[in-house]
């Protein structure tokens, strides 16, 4: 199949040209992109272009949908379901640009544009999902589908369910309520994310005393100095961005400053100028209203109906099973670190702001392993080479820098991704370093997905956005081992997007159930501790020496250090998420106290008053993980079981890699994930695989 650019303008759908809105082709968001692989011409796009483009694309989408509704012919799979799938192409292009940049390179003006545009998009979505005549056409096809192939059947099923789950079958009065609630919810979640970013950026810890920083490793001091310099300061600055926050918490002995920093991080948007507490209440209550309106007891019941787990009961049982198997071991981890701290003269209760320092010090003593020992072998350029090498050895992929592709920031690089036979597969954008315009964390996203129309294939534009340690004046970017795992994790998502195959964009790549989407990412982390893999690329950035075998052995030995604690910590996030979204009555209580109660079964470290993660928990209150955070642990079970096959056959085994590519990475959402998993692995996954990998009970 040939590769094509994404054409500007409305999809055909047999709409008479006179019915199409006239497009202002001087707006680069509306014009055809005569660029390599039809990539976005970022340098030509100005903020003033977005709102007119959104308005035009929304009008275009409305015209496309009207043509489907008004089609006098009998509803068929092609003229209704496929036509609906193909509609909104121009709008998808603009949304893909704007909302991705809103996360990666935002400005105050962009945030204001988002607040103005979001209600229009929600109104359009509701107008489509609540359109009785459109739903009637879809329903008639659903009830009499005829002979369809698997991919077509899945599209039909998902399309019908999307309407049913978005209010299409409600009464007129309830449809109006649905419109009201979803409009409110979209605005609330957007505001939540903006408040969290603002609260994160609002806090800085300025240090002027050289004695305070003298004890810190050079990379930490230099990073703090560089942060200060970027702000026009001559001192040292720590922020709440992870690459700045964590090193100071890990290496500083100054308890007072660490407590101040920890409390600031733990109370982001909990009161103050960017307060999210009332927004949290409104979000969970609005979600509950939507769920009740659609006939569900709670929001989790509504969400989990369309997940691999299938039900609230299954998720609750899953989390409880893992908690029961690991909580005592997590408590033992806390006691071990506390007892070790006391041997160093620490007195009193080990608090959360003490944890990073003493747990790292214990690891260094017990396993002779610390970040400073490993980082010289994880220079970012070498890591990137190693990640690309892994994709090549497993799947035959090649990555070639393409300087002709426009990028949205000078930190970003773009690559052509080709298969072993030279076939173009995707464009990959890499964006590594923190900045005030970028939210914290790491993620994979797409500017465009995969589809095939009339034998002509459109390949994806995939972006990886991270917040790794910046290079300094004296040394390059050297990653921690955790950052190596993060790179591999997000790259797994990228592979899922880049290798997707299929006719329909809504079913390709990462468009799968939320509790399945983390399998391709989490399985990649397993290679981070494989000596056979590390020996291929992990060399000292100054000497070129391969990472010594004893360091690799120490990494492997330390892999399960605090595994139970880390597991229970993740379970606490999943359980508080489920607590918020299994509410069956409106919540008017105290956000902080609710969180304390919901996390009580998983509590290991002491509870600190005046802090709560809920008000900055973007995953569940602004992202797409509401009633879905358990999916990380669910996918860990999948990846532990799946990687055991690579361990059995060989970590670069082509037969296993090909099966994983064909059954997991390429299939997207075209089949039920459990069927795909069993086809690859030969059996359903069990939690035992994860417990064994953590080394517990041995």
Q: List, by residue number, the catalytic residues.
A: 490
Strands laid side by side in the 413-418 sheet? 398-401, 413-418, 424-431, 461-465, 443-448
Token pair for residue 369? Answer: 């392993």
What is the secondary structure of 154-207 as a DSSP string? HHHHHHHHHHHTTTTTS-HHHHHHHHHHHHHHHHHHHHHHHHHHHHHHH-EEEE
Token pair for residue 9? Answer: 């303008």
Strands of 520-615 (E only): list them.
none
Single out the residue of 549, 557, 533 nearest to residue 369, CA to CA: 557
**Of all helices (H) and strands (E), which one includes residue 633?**
helix 631-649
Exposure string for 546-563, b = 16+ CB within 10 A, e = fewer? bbeeebbebbeebbebbb
Cα gap 307→415, rounded to integer Å = 33
Exposure string for 634-669, b = 16+ CB within 10 A, e = fewer? bbbbbbbbbbebbeeeebbbeebbebbbebbbbbbb
Cα gap 64→24, rounded to integer Å = 18
Q: CB neighbours of 298 closer than 8 A, spacing ≥ 6?
A: 288, 291, 312, 581, 582, 583, 584
- What is the number of other CB atoms lying within 10 angstroms of the CB of residue 456? 11
Single out the residue of 230, 427, 253 nearest to residue 356, CA to CA: 253
The sign one gets for the Cα dihedral 652, 656, 661, 662 is positive
| Contact criterion met (CB below 8 Å) for 533 and 647 | no
The sign one gets for the Cα dihedral 592, 185, 618, 624 is positive
Q: Which residue is it, tokens 């940049």?
A: 101
| 3-state helix/strand/coil string of 431-492 | ECCCCCCCCCCCEEEEEECCEEECCEEECCEEEEECCCCCCCCCCCCECCHHHHHHHHHHHH
- CA angle 514/142/452 to nearest 5° reads 60
| Contact criterion met (CB below 8 Å) for 496 and 510 | yes
Token pair for residue 205? Answer: 């810890």
Cα gap 45→28, rounded to integer Å = 6
| Contact criterion met (CB below 8 Å) for 496 and 663 | no
Single out the residue of 78, 101, 89 nearest to residue 156, CA to CA: 78
**Of all helices (H) and strands (E), which one includes residue 86?**
helix 83-86
Exposure string for 424-448, b = 16+ CB within 10 A, e = fewer? ebbbbbbbbbbeebbbbbbbbbbbb
| Contact criterion met (CB below 8 Å) for 196 and 269 | yes
CA distances from 417 to 410, 427, 646 (A): 20, 6, 24
**Of all helices (H) and strands (E), which one includes residue 313?**
helix 312-343
Cα gap 327→604, rounded to integer Å = 8
């Amino acid at each position: 199949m040939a590769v094509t650019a994404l054409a500007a303008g409305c999809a055909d759908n047999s709409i008479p040209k006179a019915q199409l809105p006239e497009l202002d082709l001087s707006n680069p968001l509306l014009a055809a992109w005569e660029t390599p692989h039809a990539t976005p011409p970022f340098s030509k796009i100005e903020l003033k272009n977005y709102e007119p483009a959104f308005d035009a694309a929304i009008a275009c989408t409305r015209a496309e949908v009207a043509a489907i509704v008004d089609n006098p012919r009998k509803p068929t799979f092609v003229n209704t379901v496929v036509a609906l799938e193909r509609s909104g192409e121009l709008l998808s292009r603009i949304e893909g640009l704007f909302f991705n940049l809103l996360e990666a390179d935002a400005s105050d003006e962009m945030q204001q544009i988002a607040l103005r545009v979001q209600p229009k998009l929600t109104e359009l979505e509701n107008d489509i999902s609540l359109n009785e005549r459109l739903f009637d056409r879809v329903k008639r096809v659903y009830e009499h589908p005829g002979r369809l192939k698997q991919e077509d059947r899945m599209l039909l099923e998902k399309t019908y369910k999307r309407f049913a789950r978005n209010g299409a079958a409600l009464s007129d009065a309830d449809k109006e309520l649905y419109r009201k609630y979803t409009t409110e919810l979209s605005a609330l979640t957007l505001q939540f994310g903006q408040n969290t970013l603002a609260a994160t950026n609002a806090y800085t810890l300025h240090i002027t005393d050289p004695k305070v920083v003298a004890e810190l490793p050079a990379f930490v001091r230099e990073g703090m100095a560089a942060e200060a310099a970027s702000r026009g300061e001559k001192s040292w600055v720590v922020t709440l961005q992870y690459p700045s926050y964590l090193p100071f918490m890990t290496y500083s002995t100054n308890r007072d400053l660490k407590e101040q920093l920890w409390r600031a991080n733990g109370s982001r948007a909990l009161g103050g100028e960017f307060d999210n507490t009332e927004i949290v209440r409104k979000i969970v209550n609005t979600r509950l209203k939507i769920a009740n309106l659609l006939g569900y007891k709670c929001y989790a019941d509504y969400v989990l109906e369309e997940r691999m787990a299938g039900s609230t009961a299954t998720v609750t049982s899953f989390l409880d099973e893992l908690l029961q198997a690991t909580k005592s071991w997590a408590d033992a981890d806390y006691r071990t670190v506390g007892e070790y701290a006391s041997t160093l003269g620490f007195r009193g209760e080990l608090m959360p702001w003490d944890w990073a320092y003493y747990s790292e010090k214990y690891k260094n003593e017990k396993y002779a392993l610390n970040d400073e020992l490993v980082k010289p072998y994880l220079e970012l350029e070498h890591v990137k080479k190693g990640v690309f090498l892994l994709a090549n050895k497993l799947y035959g992929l090649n990555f070639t820098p393409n300087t002709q592709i426009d990028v949205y920031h000078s930190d970003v690089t773009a690559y052509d991704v080709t298969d072993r036979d030279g076939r173009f597969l995707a464009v990959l954008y890499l964006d590594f370093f923190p900045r005030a315009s970028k939210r914290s964390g790491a993620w994979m996203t797409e500017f465009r997905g995969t589809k095939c129309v009339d034998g002509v294939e459109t390949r994806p534009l995939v972006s990886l956005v991270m917040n790794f340690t910046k290079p300094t004046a004296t040394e390059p970017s050297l990653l921690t081992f955790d950052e190596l795992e993060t790179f591999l994790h997000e790259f797994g998502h990228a592979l899922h997007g880049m290798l997707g195959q299929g006719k329909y964009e809504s079913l390709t790549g990462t468009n799968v159930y939320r509790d399945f989407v983390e399998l391709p990412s989490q399985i990649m982390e397993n290679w981070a501790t494989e000596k056979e893999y590390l020996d291929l690329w992990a060399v000292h950035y100054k000497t070129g020496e391969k990472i010594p075998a004893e360091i690799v052995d120490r990494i492997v030995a330390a892999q399960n250090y605090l595994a139970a604690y880390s597991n229970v910590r993740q379970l606490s996030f999943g359980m508080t998420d489920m607590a918020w979204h299994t509410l069956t009555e409106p919540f008017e209580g105290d956000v902080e106290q609710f969180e304390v109660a919901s996390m009580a079964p998983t509590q290991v470290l002491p509870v600190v008053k005046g802090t709560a993660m809920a008000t900055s928990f973007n995953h569940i209150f602004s992202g797409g993980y509401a009633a879905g955070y358990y999916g990380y642990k669910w996918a860990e079970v999948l990846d532990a079981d799946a990687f055991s096959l690579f361990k059995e056959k060989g970590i670069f085994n082509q037969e296993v890699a090909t099966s994983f590519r064909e059954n997991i990475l390429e299939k997207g959402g075209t089949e039920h994930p459990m069927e795909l998993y069993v086809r690859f692995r030969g059996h359903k996954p069990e939690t035992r695989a994860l417990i064994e990998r953590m080394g517990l009970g041995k």
